[in-house]
Amino acid sequence: GAVVSQHPSRVICKSGTSVKIECRSLDFQATTMFWYRQFPKQSLMLMATSNEGSKATYEQGVEKDKFLINHASLTLSTLTVTSAHPEDSSFYICSASGRSSYEQYFGPGTRLTVT
Amino acid sequence: KNEVEQSPQNLTAQEGEFITINCSYSVGISALHWLQQHPGGGIVSLFMLSSGKKKHGRLIATINIQEKHSSLHITASHPRDSAVYICAVAGNQFYFGTGTSLTVIP
């Protein structure tokens, strides 16, 4: 099956700094990439959808200026958490799809801890 | 009301037992995914199916489109199967179940 990687898998940063998380589709071209956030013991929550070369579509309640998403190529999307605060600590997961949006392949996730 | 319901929420089994996790959904879908999330958080895609049955090793996933129901079976369960299993459906958007936490005791 298709493989999606995320980097880093874990990151600890200080409050006020920015953190970039990369999501790569390793063996297919991802037309669309999705970014999710997961709080402890809860299900995945969609943050935004990005299509290659265009601006991301954010879900209601997600601050686009805080969570910057770039989908510059068909194999790479990045999520930058700007001016991180402890409440941004969470597990961030990306997924990618090719031509069919229902075929989503999930990355392993990135655990962000803001101190 | 959640679009995707999983049962049970928590499950403890003895090593070697046959395990079934159920998923019911209320929306029209193109595909259903079973995901495995380990205690460290990492997610692994187990299956994507839109009809019938798929098997991979000790894992079997079935789906009944008419009844809007899917099951994930684990045969000869092992402690390393301990994880949270998440059902997700692809309709006009993705909907996720809240997961089933499985603990397999040696």
Counting residues of chain B whose pLDDT is more than 90, the rounded percentage is 81
Q: Which pLDDT value is given to residue A1?
A: 62
Pairwise CA distance, residues A4 & B44, whole Å: 10
For residue A54, pLDDT beyond 90: no
Pairwise CA distance, residues B27 & B15, whole Å: 35
Most A CBs within 10 Å, among B5, B45, B85, B101, to test the A interface: B45
CB atoms within 10 A of CB A19: 20
Show residues of chain A in contact with B99, CB under 8 Å: 43
Pairwise CA distance, residues B31 & A105, whole Å: 12
For residue B36, pLDDT beyond 80: yes
Give the rounded distance of the alpha carbon of B49 from its chain centre.
Answer: 11
For residue A99, pLDDT beyond 80: no
Burial class of residue A98, CB neighbours in 10 A (0-12, 13-18, 19+): middle
B86 close to A (CB below 8 A): yes
Whole-number average pLDDT of chain B: 93
